[in-house]
Amino acid sequence: MIRRTLALLIAALLIGLQGAQAEVLDRLVPDAELVGEARFKVMFFKIYDAQLYAPNGRYSAGNPYSLRLHYLINAKKGRIVSSTVKEMRRMKAASNAQIESWVPVMDSAFIDMPKGSHADFIHTSDGRLTLVADGEIISVIEDTVLAKAIMDIWLGPKVRDQRFQDNLMGRSK
């Protein structure tokens, strides 16, 4: 009896978290529908599953959209920041000085993401980036150039893995 009650309580909590996450997404990306999905791996290690949502399932960089990452590993904030910086440098998203100036912003905006958790990177039509973890807004990046540089890691012209981007944008066959 106790196990059943506990299981029902956990199920209700999970449904509530999913509902909260959907509520933020629905508010910031009206009529959000899945555009595409992809799995990010480094060699044989599965890092996260990604899903792109946009109004009516049609992505446009100028419109609101959301990139949802479902973490398949424990991802520490420091590692997330350093990987983001490394990708920005590889893509030449900005000068090294500019990228370094963004590190404190990312350090305060990002959090540890335990295995099984979800993060939404919601890009609004005004260019800001709202970060949501398991249904709760954790930060808003107001710097539109930084927001674009972050999202270009997955959606920009110089992505590391073109097949990943094609799947995410629903262009795969």
More confident residue, 49 or 26: 49
Do 105 and 152 contact (CB within 8 A), yes or no? no
CATH number belonging to domain 2-168 = 3.50.70.10
Q: Which two tokens stand for residue 81?
A: 């920041």
Do 113 and 133 contact (CB within 8 A), yes or no? yes
| Rounded Cα gap, residues 34 and 173, in angstroms | 16
| Rounded Cα gap, residues 46 and 140, in angstroms | 28
| Rounded Cα gap, residues 36 and 173, in angstroms | 11
Q: What is the mean pLDDT of residues 120-128?
A: 94
Q: Domain-by-domain residue ranges, the chain?
A: 2-168
Q: What is the mean pLDDT of residues 84-91?
A: 96
| Rounded Cα gap, residues 63 and 117, in angstroms | 26
Residue 19 pLDDT > 60, yes or no? no
H or E element that contains 17:
helix 2-28
Give the three-class secondary structure for 38: strand
pLDDT > 90: percent of the chain: 73
